[in-house]
């Protein structure tokens, strides 16, 4: 039996979540990952300030299809009142089952604005934000953060305790500091320390690339669930492998032909949601990720970056499929 997790009434189908990733986890990719078994999805992070301004692009990021559910909307910002208002707007404009506050993004332009992981260095402001958002909405609230801002200011346990006290229903912890960005290794013992310190569910993020790494985070370090980010790039099949591993202790290798078919489905779905020109441009990076590891794909990667129509991409994918073994 596949184990699941309940977050303040939100029942995920299993313990394997698709992480929010800006410019990547749009509705199309969330639908693809759910079809392969992701137990929960998250929107791309959405600016609370932009929502309060009625920004159409930001509102569009909140579009959630029934097939993606359960889905949590992630927002970011640095002002408690703005985040509270942004959260209310998000709830009113989408069917998300919960709101997540991003307090872990390490990107310089986010941090320089006092947003994302910068809030780990300003725990009082972070607490005020959580309390304000908690008061503003009537659906579950979660928060995603890192091990700390620097190695000298590791405060994940303190931060998790604060977040629980302020009213969150779950925490997601990435085991790197902000200064690490995505280098080095994710520190799984931090997950264990946070789990022992709070009573709400703890989701592990960082270096979840294989079923083995997911089960290490859960079985050895106590995480209630895991969140796949970079491990899911071009690899929605990872979620199926998680489920296979949980049931049997083994999992199937990915069939290159299925990869190609999934690329086509992903492209066509994106075209239906965003229009051909935008879809082809935005799917290029996904195509390069999908092709990673497929024998002889290097020459095709170069060609894909030059194509401009859906038909051209589909034709090339059919050519690639013919070269695949099996």
pLDDT score at 319: 86
**Mean pLDDT (10-residue bins), the chain, 326 residues:** 89 96 96 98 98 97 96 98 98 97 96 97 98 98 97 96 98 95 93 98 97 97 97 97 97 94 96 94 93 81 86 89 72
pLDDT score at 79: 98
Q: Which fold has domain 6-248?
A: TIM Barrel (3.20.20)
Pairing outcome for strands 141-148 and 170-177: parallel
3-state secondary structure 268-306: HHHHHHHCHHHHHHHHHHHHHHHHCCCCCCHHHHHHHCC
**Span 256-323: which CATH code?**
1.10.1200.80
pLDDT score at 325: 58
Closest alpha carbon to 62 in 79, 50, 76, 74: 74
pLDDT for 88-141, tens place per residue?
Answer: 999 999 999 999 999 999 999 999 999 999 999 999 999 999 999 999 999 999
pLDDT score at 296: 75
pLDDT score at 262: 96
pLDDT score at 230: 95
- CA dist., res. 105 & res. 175, Å (int): 13
Domain with CATH 1.10.1200.80 in the chain: 256-323
Domain with CATH 3.20.20.70 in the chain: 6-248
Q: Which residues are catalytic?
A: 105
């Amino acid at each position: 039996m596949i184990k699941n997790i309940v977050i303040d009434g939100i029942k995920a189908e299993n313990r394997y979540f698709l992480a929010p990733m800006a410019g990547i986890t749009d509705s199309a990719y969330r639908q693809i990952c759910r079809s392969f078994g992701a137990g929960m999805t998250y929107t791309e992070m959405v600016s609370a300030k932009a929502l309060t301004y009625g920004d159409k692009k930001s509102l569009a990021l909140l579009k959630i299809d029934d097939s993606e559910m359960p889905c949590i909307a992630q927002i970011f910002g640095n002002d408690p009142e703005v985040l509270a208002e942004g959260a209310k707007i998000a709830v009113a404009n989408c069917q998300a089952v919960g709101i997540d506050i991003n307090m872990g993004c390490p990107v310089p332009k986010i941090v320089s604005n006092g947003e994302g992981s910068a809030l780990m260095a300003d725990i009082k402001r972070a607490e005020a934000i959580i309390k304000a958002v908690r008061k503003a909405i009537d659906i579950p609230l979660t928060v995603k953060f890192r091990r700390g801002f620097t190695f000298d200011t590791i405060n994940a346990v303190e931060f998790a305790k604060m977040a629980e006290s302020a009213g969150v229903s779950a925490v997601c912890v990435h085991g790197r500091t902000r200064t690490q960005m995505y280098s080095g290794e994710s520190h799984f013992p931090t997950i264990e320390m946070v789990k022992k310190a709070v009573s709400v569910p703890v989701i592990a993020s960082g270096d979840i690339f294989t079923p083995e790494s997911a089960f290490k985070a859960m079985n050895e370090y106590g995480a209630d669930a895991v969140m796949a980010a970079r491990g899911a790039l071009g690899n929605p099949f990872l979620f199926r492998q998680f489920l296979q591993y949980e049931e049997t202790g083994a999992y199937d290798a990915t069939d290159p032909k299925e990869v190609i078919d999934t690329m086509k489905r992903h492209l066509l779905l994106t075209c239906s949601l965003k229009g051909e020109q935008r879809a082809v441009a935005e799917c290029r990076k996904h195509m390069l990720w999908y092709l990673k590891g497929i024998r002889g794909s290097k020459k095709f990667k170069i060609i894909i970056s030059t194509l401009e129509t859906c038909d051209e991409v589909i034709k090339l994918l059919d050519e690639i499929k013919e070269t695949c073994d099996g």
